[in-house]
Structure 1
């Protein structure tokens, strides 16, 4: 119960502190260029996510942190089982990133404000035309030097299972040649989703070696989604074995 109270307090702090910053540096504010705006918003998010992690009493084990690229752009691809995956990614990845998330995220209190301020992309997978427009926008962002975080399962999956990756989203990499950084999470769903309250949890994060996409031939591009999916599954399995 104490952890829940602390996290709520951290979220209130995020909202209060963030109002001025989002107004001043939010995406679309013509007073600043996009790069400057995103740097300001993202680095403030990183500071505030530390409060959430501390409030939730999370014990975090990160494997493979040396595999994070020194500079972007890159496409970060992870399995997804909790809203806290987002918190951990922002806390771990130093360079400013934007997210491609399902349209429902645009209605999630507080999170939507920060995602809007970053200029994140909301995708409606039931609308093929809109989905294509989102992918094209993502490609444009990557070509401009902006890194992106993607959950290609398209939804959250509890436990140690993973849903198949949506293949279309990998055009973000094949059309730009940016490297893919595969990431696996474990136990993040136990922080909140499993018990419907914030619970002290040991969470695991495994960052795999970069997957290069720049010189892939047509066959390599077709195999890429499955290759990355199997890579993330392998990283997840490493975490499972590590706990035995």
Structure 2
């Protein structure tokens, strides 16, 4: 319970104390938007790494060399925990925006930071607005900003993490329209940090594996038509392979 309290203190404390930082970042952005983007990214990454240290999670990272350092990508991951965002965002090499649910746009300060980081808010109930968000994400990628999305659409609460929810194929239009590689991310055992024994935070063994880039245009006609299913199978294979690493 102590870890949970400490994480809450850090999150709430940072959001309040970061108000002057937001102002400084805004001023920097007036003169150099890209410098503001990079500094905001590094600040949040440092905070996320600190929070992960508090959780005591033992994190194993595999395949990070598969992530391009000089070109934007579409990150696709399975989603079991709120901590999936911290686990992945803290390792992004270049500017990266996440696609989050519309409800998060209402949270003061947090939503401001998310906009600074090029995050987009998806209204899952409005198809027209959802398409608009996807097209905005395409523009982000074309401008050099990676996008990360968890295409299950919500946290998967199934008992077996291999039992993933269907991937929404619409998410993959970001890659096909922006002509960028897809980086599959398999996140193993992250629910055991928090969700599996709410409200306690436990030092779970977590594995984050980055698969080899998937280029939709290089897939067979059938796989390209169902690129979401294809990517999900790649992630499932990594989850199966890494399961023993979370049990040692």
With normalisation by structure 1, the TM-score equals 0.90
| C-alpha distance in structure 1 between counterparts of 2:37 and 2:139, whole Å | 16
The alignment partner of 2:100 has SS state of strand
The alignment partner of 1:229 has SS state of helix
Aligned-pair RMSD on alpha carbons? 2.2
Unaligned runs of 5+ in 2: none
Residue 22 of structure 1 pairs with residue 18 of structure 2 = no
Going from structure 1 to structure 2, the CA distance change for 1:184 and 1:217 (only over 3 Å counts) comes to: closer
Deviation at 1:80, TM superposition (A): 0.6
Matches within 5 A, 1:1-244: 1-25=1-25, 31-108=30-107, 111-158=110-157, 159=159, 160=161, 161-197=163-199, 198-214=201-217, 219-243=222-246
| C-alpha distance in structure 2 between counterparts of 1:157 and 1:111, whole Å | 23
| C-alpha distance in structure 1 between counterparts of 2:239 and 2:31, whole Å | 40
The alignment partner of 1:62 has SS state of strand
| C-alpha distance in structure 1 between counterparts of 2:18 and 2:44, whole Å | 8
Going from structure 1 to structure 2, the CA distance change for 1:54 and 1:173 (only over 3 Å counts) comes to: same
| C-alpha distance in structure 2 between counterparts of 1:95 and 1:85, whole Å | 18
Query: Any conservation in 2 of the 1:138–1:172 contact (CA below 8 Å)?
Result: yes
Stretch of structure 1 that moved more, 1-10 or 127-136 = 1-10
The alignment partner of 1:149 has SS state of strand
Aligned length: 243
| C-alpha distance in structure 1 between counterparts of 2:28 and 2:105, whole Å | 19
Query: Any conservation in 2 of the 1:176–1:214 contact (CA below 8 Å)?
Result: no
Stretch of structure 1 that moved more, 71-80 or 15-24 = 15-24
Query: Any conservation in 1 of the 2:169–2:226 contact (CA below 8 Å)?
Result: no
Query: Any conservation in 1 of the 2:96–2:118 contact (CA below 8 Å)?
Result: no
Deviation at 1:149, TM superposition (A): 0.7
Deviation at 1:29, TM superposition (A): 8.2
Query: Any conservation in 2 of the 1:80–1:156 contact (CA below 8 Å)?
Result: yes
Going from structure 1 to structure 2, the CA distance change for 1:229 and 1:140 (only over 3 Å counts) comes to: same
With normalisation by structure 2, the TM-score equals 0.89
Query: Any conservation in 2 of the 1:3–1:200 contact (CA below 8 Å)?
Result: no
Stretch of structure 1 that moved more, 66-75 or 164-173 = 66-75
| C-alpha distance in structure 2 between counterparts of 1:107 and 1:41, whole Å | 20
